[in-house]
Amino acid sequence: MPEVQDFDQPTTLSADLVVDGGARTPGHPAALTVEVPGDKSVSHRALLAALLPGAPSRLTLRGANLGGAVRALLPALRGLGLRTHTDGDTLTVERDGAPVPQPVRPHPTVTDWPEGVPYLETGGSSAAARLLIGLLAGTGRSAVVDGDETLRHRPMDWLVTPLVQLGADIRYLAEPGRLPALVRTPVRRPGAVDLAVGSAQARSGVLLAAVAARLAVEIRHPVRSRDHTERMLSAFGARLTEGPGAVGYDGGAYTVPPVVDIPADPSLAAYPVAAQLLGHGGGELRVPDVCLNPTRLGFFEVLRRAGADLGYEDTRPGSSGETVGTIVARGGLDGVTAVRVDDPATLHTLIDEVPLLALVAARLPGTSWIGCAEELRFKETDRLTTTARMASAFGARVEVADDGLRVTGGAPLAAGEVPGFEDHRIAMAAATLAMSLPGRTTVLGGGCHRTSFPDFAEVQRAVGADITEVATV
């Protein structure tokens, strides 16, 4: 089994996505099936389970997402003495290695990096950084966690503040609330903490810290966002309680299994499904083995409620406490009405699909509203602004409000040059809309789809796209 050497290479190819769209995506056979990669969130969590006390010396993830965001964790794991191997989409982590030191990324204000603790860089992945900080704060392993320039601007106090309340010693080495952060000592005081935001990464980081430390906690949260961590830990045998607005852990035992199967990613399934709906290609599109966790299905649910022919078949229990099944999309957007998202729980079920939903809404009659979306300002980009700017480049009418997007449907849309802002969700949404527009669209910097969906172009080709990737350097 080869050791994963290429994981330290840049994960974002400098490339544009060039899409030659038609007024109608060519019709495909009556029933077409496409597969999408493993779920990014479940992959992150399962990978980090290798750091939980008592984890097996060899942990295997089958069907892992191997995009840049998940790869971003691997050098950090090696920095902690774990060895990583890949074979297709099977990822194995072994505990028998010696720590491989990572080079320190220079920082304009930090000159005195702490001596003798591992330096762990997590690229641009906020999930990698936040969940890793949680695991370190639970296991008591001291380390510096850092990220690339984008990640250094994203908030960490959503997670660090409650960890400090639970007794962890975590210090910011540069700006308050921002990476790099030094985790010095673990959580040690049981009790209740209140999260300021609905971010699942924040809640998961605190929960992983508590479970790693076997510390009883109650984590009160404003919104029930994706619950993969809770499901995974419960499947491992940890006793969690779920009440309105809170998750509790009693400090009890659990067992990490040697193999975790990762279901396909519903956020990635959204792109071929949107291509089907926007393309009016007729027929039926099936995406099998997808994670059907209800905290992730908002894109499909909101459109289904608005009249789209979307459903789930072959549903069955999967690994890590998740339900899996086939997403089925039939027909297009005829008869579908404007969409409305105006509660935080629904927003969190489609938080990564907002750029795509906004573009679909531009094709619907009337005015759509995607609200309660303040947290989108803290993604890889300020996604309210970048979604509106990308959509406007097509001619769509998208207004940015403090907490959401208002989309006035029916404006004529045209192919052209559109910005991708080096944000994978923006670039993939743009390329998907472009499939249905006559003429050539160039999504600048669209190669960033590799962050979460390395075979995006191949999958979209299978649903009728004429899409190529053109290197820019």
Nearer to ligand S3P, 127 or 160 (CB): 127
**Active site (catalytic) residues:** 352
Q: How far apart are CA 231 and CA 236, in angstroms?
A: 9
Minimum distance, C-beta of residue 65 to ligand S3P, in the bound complex (Å): 11
Q: Restricting to residues 349-368, which ones interact with ligand S3P according to CB under 6 A?
A: 351-352
What residues does 86 pair with on adjacent strands?
91
Minimum distance, C-beta of residue 205 to ligand S3P, in the bound complex (Å): 9
Determine the residue type at 403: D
Minimum distance, C-beta of residue 422 to ligand S3P, in the bound complex (Å): 15
Minimum distance, C-beta of residue 296 to ligand S3P, in the bound complex (Å): 10
Minimum distance, C-beta of residue 298 to ligand S3P, in the bound complex (Å): 12
Q: How far separated are the first and last CA of the chain, in Å rounded?
A: 32
Q: Taking CB under 6 A as the rule, does residue 262 contact ligand S3P?
A: no
Q: Which residue has the tokens 């699909």?
A: 353
Minimum distance, C-beta of residue 268 to ligand S3P, in the bound complex (Å): 11
Nearer to ligand S3P, 32 or 264 (CB): 264
What residues does 370 pair with on adjacent strands?
341, 405
Residues 6+ apart with CB under 8 A from 289: 35, 63, 263, 264, 324, 325, 326
Residue spans of beta strands (DSSP E) within 174-307:
181-185, 191-194, 217-220, 240-243, 246-249, 259-261, 284-291
Name the burial class of residue 385, with classes exposed (0-12), middle (13-18) and buried (19+) by CB atoms within 10 angstroms of its CB: middle
Which of 4, 200, 211, 217 binds ligand S3P (CB under 6 A)? It is 200
Nearer to ligand S3P, 156 or 364 (CB): 156
Nearer to ligand S3P, 139 or 204 (CB): 204
Which of 25, 65, 204, 293 binds ligand S3P (CB under 6 A)? It is 204
Which of 11, 84, 92, 201 binds ligand S3P (CB under 6 A)? It is 201
Write down how long the chain is.
473
Cα-only R_g, the chain: 22
Q: Which residue has the tokens 């510096």?
A: 144
Take residue 77 and report the two structure tokens written for it: 């794991």
Q: Restricting to residues 223-242, which ones interact with ligand S3P according to CB under 6 A?
A: 226
Name the burial class of residue 169, with classes exposed (0-12), middle (13-18) and buried (19+) by CB atoms within 10 angstroms of its CB: middle
Q: Taking CB under 6 A as the rule, does residue 375 contact ligand S3P?
A: yes
Which of 11, 25, 41, 319 binds ligand S3P (CB under 6 A)? It is 41
Size, binding site for ligand S3P by CB under 6 A: 11
Q: Restricting to residues 116-175, which ones interact with ligand S3P according to CB under 6 A?
A: 127
Nearer to ligand S3P, 39 or 289 (CB): 39
What is the Cβ-side half-sphere exposure of residue 313, based on CA atoms within 13 angstroms? 11
Q: Do the Cβ atoms of 370 and 361 come closer than 8 Å?
A: yes
What residues does 38 pair with on adjacent strands?
264
Q: Which stretch binds ligand S3P (CB under 6 A): 160-168, 198-206, 285-293, 399-407?
A: 198-206
Q: Do the Cβ atoms of 325 and 311 come closer than 8 Å?
A: no
Minimum distance, C-beta of residue 200 to ligand S3P, in the bound complex (Å): 4
Q: Which stretch binds ligand S3P (CB under 6 A): 20-28, 199-207, 280-288, 293-301?
A: 199-207
Nearer to ligand S3P, 126 or 442 (CB): 126
Distance of CA 231 to the CA centre of its chain: 17
Backbone angles phi, psi at 170, to 5 degrees: -130, 130
Q: Do the Cβ atoms of 65 and 43 come closer than 8 Å?
A: yes
Among candidate residues 431, 439, 369, the one with its CA nearest the CA of residue 397:
369
Minimum distance, C-beta of residue 459 to ligand S3P, in the bound complex (Å): 19
Nearer to ligand S3P, 204 or 276 (CB): 204
Binding mask 313-352 for ligand S3P (x = CB under 6 A): --------------------------------------xx
Residues that bind ligand S3P in the complex, under the rule CB under 6 A: 41, 44, 127, 199-201, 204, 226, 351-352, 375
